[in-house]
Amino acid sequence: GIFGLIFFVFSCTKEIVTTPTSNTSAGNTNSNTSITYSNLWIPPTLSGTTFNLSLDKSTKQFFSGSITNTYAYNGANFWGPTLIMNKGDQVQINVKNNLNETTTSHWHGFHIPAEMDGGPHQEILASTTWSPNFKVMNNAATYWYHPHLHELTAKQVSMGAGGLIIIKDPEEAALALPRTYGVDDIPVVLTSRKFTSTNVIDFSTAYGDYLLTNGTLNAQISLPKQVVRFRILNAEIERGYNLGFSDNRTFYIIANDGGLLDNPVPVTRVPLVVGERIEILLDLSNDALGSSLDFKAYNANLPQGFGGSEPAQSGQFGSLLNNKDFPVLHINVAATNTSPMLAIPSTLVKNTTLAATDATNSRMLMVTGGQPNGPAFSFNNSTFNHQTINQTVKLNAVEKWTIMNNNVFGHSFHIHDVQFKILSRSSGSVGLHESGWKDTVYLPVGQSVTIIAKFDDFASDKYPFMYHCHFANHEDGGMMGQFLVVP
Ligand code: C2O
Ligand code: CU
């Protein structure tokens, strides 16, 4: 009856601890529920050519009552600092593991030797330090680091371990783009968590019911009345997001996983699956001072197959959180700085394109699994084994990979070492926002995607690279393979 319902609602609602802010204007009211916002946490930055990271046990007061145990880097409460690197620099990273379990640290999206990659083979035992060094060869864009230890990835990422990496290069620097970190160039890391009644992170489930933006619940930010840039990462375990603004305004995608696009792509919604990044420009120059709007995840008009076959319940694959569209960042429009950027550029960079005719080899990967008594997810009917090399690629090969999803779930396919171009989708439509360089791609149920990449620079007959589903629970469940690039 009604009392049961009231009790149910009451018992499912945690009292959120908020940092009191001066910004509690009338704009901070969302339809009939009043939300108290907290200021978006902006991860501190580290720059230079030597980076010291330590992965520690930490805590965060997400809710009133029990404090939540977390993992974080360099004394943060959840997540870690943003590393800022310059293309062309030789960098060294010292990763100290202060947990009492093994971890690894993977530089997602980086084109580096396999032994520096931080995949499942580069174990960092408890109380030890791993010190890879490599040349930064990637284009200016937004990348990230996270643990990648087989069967512990979902747990360690759920607990909060991860961080962004921003690569800068001269081509990007030459463009009129907002780039004042935390002021008009904003990191937006999206993830959600489920908490037990005693506020413990429940990492047995892939879907949270509380959204964390940079680790902040009910996040808000004051942004200058000008063009601003968001660097958005879907750092979820499994949920995909379909992002847009509460007034359905047009915004502009300027970069995806591996670099700037040729031209800004105007959209009103953009899907983002786990592991993918986009950079967008949002024009606030015509917004009134003191006005507000929400950056949100929407369920309506999801792209074809985007969670379409998942059960409609809390935790479905698409954008719903607790069966609702949900805000990811509340924006308050504030005064601008002295020389604001007011225009969306019409062109960005000239990307060299790989065409299907450039391919020197092609291969097919089948997403399998879900048979009675078998694993739920696999590639070509086999699950990850540290000792098994699943694919061998010749150095300098230009390869076309077709990944066919015969599994009953959608997946997020990620490959290490290379940035690729998406050549085609069996559904017929490669989104404009998917042009440019990618390292992670959405793979709808029953469909295939064909990508093309050049495997240059790094050969080894010993150290493999990974390809896998970036849903951490699928990856831990064995939906991962490895390839050698051989001379
Ligand atoms: Cu972001 Cu193999 O991972
Ligand atoms: Cu998957």
Same domain for 282 and 187?
Answer: yes
**Domain-embedded: residue 37:** no
Residue 474: predicted pLDDT: 95
| Ligand whose nearest atom lies closest to the CA of 275 | 1
Ligand 1: atom nearest CA of 146 is 1
**Residue 7 Cα to ligand 1 middle (Å):** 41
ipTM over 0.95: yes
**Residues in the ligand 1 pocket, defined by CB under 6 Å:** 106, 108, 146, 148, 275, 414, 416, 466, 468, 470
- Determine the distance separating the centroid of ligand 1 and the alpha carbon of 16, expressed in angstroms: 31
Q: Shortest CA distance to 244 belongs to which of 303, 280, 295?
A: 295
The predicted model gives 112-130 an average pLDDT of: 98
| Ligand 1 centroid, distance to 176 Cα (angstroms) | 31
The whole-number pLDDT of residue 408 equals 84
Section 329-346 average pLDDT: 87
Q: Tell me, what amino acid is at 272? A: L
Question: Of the residues 129, 149, 169, which one is the last residue of a structural domain?
Answer: 169
Cα-to-centroid distance, 474 and ligand 2 (Å): 5
Question: Token pair of 114, please?
Answer: 């396999």
Domain co-membership, 369 together with 478: yes
**Total domains present in the chain:** 3
CATH of the domain at 424: 2.60.40.420
Q: Are residues 157 and 207 both part of a single domain?
A: no
Span 371-378, mean pLDDT?
Answer: 90
* For residue 410, pLDDT beyond 60: yes
Residues 311 and 185 in one domain: yes
pTM recorded for the entire structure:
0.93
Confidence of residue 314 (pLDDT cuts 50, 70, 90): very low
Specify whether 216 is located in the same domain as 361: no
Of all ligands present, the nearest one to the C-alpha of 440 is 1
Rounded to whole angstroms, how far apart are CA atoms 37 and 165?
27
Whether residue 87 is found in the same domain as residue 210: no
Q: Give one DSSP letter per residue of 102-122, joined into a string.
A: -B--EEET----GGGS-STTS
Instruction: Identify which has the larger pLDDT, 12 or 255.
Output: 255
CA–centroid distance, 284 to ligand 1, in Å, is 34
What pLDDT score does 23 carry?
41
Helix (H) or strand (E) holding 228, with range, is strand 227-234
**Which ligand 1 atom lies nearest to the CA of residue 475?**
2
Token duo for residue 205: 């489930």
Ligand nearest the Cα atom of residue 240: 2
Q: DSSP for 12-77, please give it.
A: T-PPBP----S---GGGEETTEE---EEPP---EEESSEEEEEEEEEEE--BSSSPEEEEEETT-S
pLDDT tens digits for 169-213? 999 999 999 999 999 999 999 999 999 999 999 988 888 889 999
